Structure 1
Amino acid sequence: MNKPAMDFKPVTDGVTALLPGIDDSRMSDRTPCEEFTLGAVINHMLGLTWVFADAANKVRGPHTDSPPTAPPSAPEAEWRTVLPIRLDALAQAWAAPEAWEGEATAGGVTMPAEIMGLVALNEVTVHGWDLARATGQEYELDPEIVKTLTEFVAQDADDQAAREGIFGPAVRVPEDAPPLDRLIGLTGRDPEWSRS
């Protein structure tokens, strides 16, 4: 693919900025990620940031070599402290040019590191959107990141077999929809989703 390294920092900083607006009493609330409650999305983020940072660093272990499991619905007690640290570590790990070279393993899958990096960036970006929507917060993204991820996710938009276990069926959006809505629709989410 010869994709240049992408800067995760705008996304990880954006997700970190959402955390103070999350009410601990709302962890059982639904989210745009239909199978996950708010608490489950937070737990999923705690796990994926750790795993994908190790993937970038070419560190192997049970957590990188095993398939992902459904996260618990109640987040870890220290999530407000741990998640920002892991988000920052993720951004730092993928900032290294060598992170994008060779192969990387996460979730029991090994693939070219340049693809794994985009998978990781997409996971954080889209679940950040889930958190924002579920908590009624604004979520701004760098247009270049949205463009790159949209092109990446669109590759399998019509191949549900390839998307199985990753995304639901793509949600159609109007031709004149904002770029972020197109990306969100491609991940099987409704860009018009509201917690109300």
Structure 2
Amino acid sequence: MTTPEFDLEAAAAAVEAVAAAVTDADLDRPTPALPTVRDMLAHVLGFTEGFRQGATKEAIGSSQPPAPAALPGDWRDRIPAQLKSLVAAWREPHAWEGETEVGGVLAPATQMALFALDELVVHGWDLARATGQPYAPADRDLAVLLGFLRDTPREGIPGLFGPVVEVPAEAPLLDRVVGLTGRDPAWTAPRS
């Protein structure tokens, strides 16, 4: 049995807290990555279920690339529930073994777990920035992601990350992580 390399609970809890504070008035606000908060929340629903299925291996041979989806009316209940299911699925030792498939991509399970952590931390940041909320993911999660993302090519990785935004080496861990995913750590939502 493989021992999980890290736990997703802190990152999931941070996303849950940010999502819980999103108001209906926030839904049409822009985000650093997707057109609106509404779109980002729909993406959160999609990736949490996709990576949960990646942990259980139930989607091997049948997963699909992510596609835009409408935000369902029950998103305020579904996001916390799906985050908890995602965390629980990746706590199972077999989740970390062999290969799995998420979004139509087959890769080592350990790599998919890293992508799940990246999705949680970075999209939590996207939502927090878009809605003007504080956001402080766990340093241990940020250190894992910095190691994972450190070799991202300057031009980014099409379909995953935009071109790297240069951030000073002494900048906070969160700024360095989001810069490696093609986001400007100084991004703020435009005023209405």
TM-score interval w.r.t. the shorter chain?
A: over 0.9
1:115-149 Cα shifts (integer Å, max 9, x gaps):
01101110111001111111111111111110110
> In structure 2, how many angstroms separate the alpha carbons of the residues matched to 1:70 and 1:20?
22
In structure 2, relative to structure 1, the CA distance for the partners of 1:83 and 1:113 (3 Å cut) is same
Q: Partner residue of 1:76? A: 72
- Amino acid of the structure 1 residue aligned with 2:166: R
State the SS of the aligned residue for 2:136: coil
TM-score, normalised by the number of residues in structure 2: 0.92
- RMSD over aligned Cα, in angstroms? 1.8
Amino acid at match of 2:29: D
Cα–Cα, structure 1 residues 191 and 115, in superposed 2: closer, same or farther, change >3 Å?
same
Spell out the pairing of 1:7-86 with structure 2 (5 A cutoff). 7-33=7-33, 35-60=34-59, 65-72=63-70, 75-86=71-82
| Structure 1: distance between partners of 2:170 and 2:59 | 43
What code does the residue aligned with 1:28 have?
Answer: D
Matched, 1:100 2:96: yes
Unaligned runs of 5+ in 1: none
Structure 2 unaligned regions, length at least 5: none
Give the SS at the match of 2:110.
helix
Aligned residue number for residue 133 of structure 2: 137
Distance 1:3 1:169 in 2: 34
> Which residue is 1:109 aligned to?
105
Equivalent residue letter for 1:168? G
Name segments (4+ residues, structure 1) moved above 4 Å: none
Cα displacement string for residues 95-130 of structure 1 (whole angstroms, at most 9, x for unaligned residues): 112111111100001100010110111011100111
Q: 1:122 aligns with which of 114, 118, 125?
A: 118
Specify which of 138, 147, 150 is matched with residue 151 of structure 1. 147
